[in-house]
Amino acid sequence: MKKTLLSLTVAAGILASAPAQAAEKLTVLLDWFTNPDHAPVITAQTKGFFEAEGLDVELIEPADPAMPPKLVAAGQGDIAISYQPTLHAHIEEGLPVARIGTLVETPLNSLIVLKDGPIKDLKDLKGKTIGFSVSGFEDAMLGQMLKSVNLTMDDVELINVNFALSPSLMSGQVDAVIGAYRNFELTQIAIEGKEGKAFFPEENGVPIFDELIYVVNKDKTDDPRFEKFMAAIEAATIYLTNHPDEAWNAFIEAYPHLNDELNRRAWKDTLPRFAKRPAALDAGRYQRFAEFMAEAGLISKVVPVDTYAVEIR
């Protein structure tokens, strides 16, 4: 990136002596309630990296997790945190959005079973029950994982457990759950005194994809504030990588209600998965995943990557 990044040990207070300039306001719509998945964004806020770029960033939790990209498309927000699979679906629908950066560069989604249960390998899912929360992409992901061991969706029974993935698994209501996050549900199960085992889609037939991304209105990708935003995110991510404990302390100072064992473990588990070059675009990855989505029937056609994803320079 062209911009000079702030020294990674500088805190926000040191910047106060710089000449006062009006900060540019920017709204970021989160994909969910604030949690460790958002660590680079929160670190950029708490440690002064946004301020160093001359940005006044407002972070907004959504009332409806499905709305942030739609609000950005409608001009009712600047940046939304979303998911790569969702981006492809929105492009199919004609929503005017585009990806400008990556937050979490590997899948977090997984299929989880109890380690001491009957499922030791994916092929053991034959005849078993699998809990899910949201159909669509998770069905396609599960179908591809089953296909990798010569099974089909007809070989398993799907049960909608709403969002009670961990409880339904631990209670024996289902034999496995799909759509569970490896950095949260596995820890939640461990805290409850059991041990889970995750099967990763990217190791079982599903093309690797970015779990969390930054999207903006397609017609506004050249907004100069976005370059500043991505510069701050990159600096914050490197700071977070080098100083995870200091960043965690700033996080819980800003959000004290999140200071618990689950979030503390999730913070460490998610750390390796943040994009160290968040503005960089792997066009091949997006092309391959779009082709997977098309083959699964989730989108009708594969469009050029440069029509919905850009690299901020």
- Report the C-alpha gap between 97 and 113 in whole angstroms: 36
User: Is 213 within 8 Å of 102 (Cβ atoms)?
Assistant: yes
Exposure class string for 10-30: b at 16+ Cβ within 10 A, else e: eebeeeeeeeeeeebebbbbb
Q: What is the pTM of this model?
A: 0.91
User: Is 33 within 8 Å of 255 (Cβ atoms)?
Assistant: no
pLDDT by position in tens, the chain (length 313):
434 344 444 444 444 444 457 899 999 999 999 999 999 999 999 999 999 999 999 999 999 999 999 999 999 999 999 999 999 999 999 999 999 999 999 999 999 999 999 999 999 999 999 999 887 899 999 999 999 999 999 999 999 998 899 999 999 999 999 999 999 999 999 999 999 999 999 999 999 999 999 999 999 999 999 999 999 999 999 999 999 999 999 999 999 999 999 999 999 999 999 999 999 999 999 999 999 999 999 999 999 999 999 998 7
**Residue 28 region by backbone torsions, left for phi larger than 0, else alpha for psi between -120 and 50, else beta:** beta
- Report the C-alpha gap between 38 and 48 in whole angstroms: 16
Three-state secondary-structure class, residue 122? helix
Distances from the Cα of 33 to the Cα of 37, 87, 148, 257, angstroms: 10, 20, 34, 12
Place of tokens 């506004």: 220
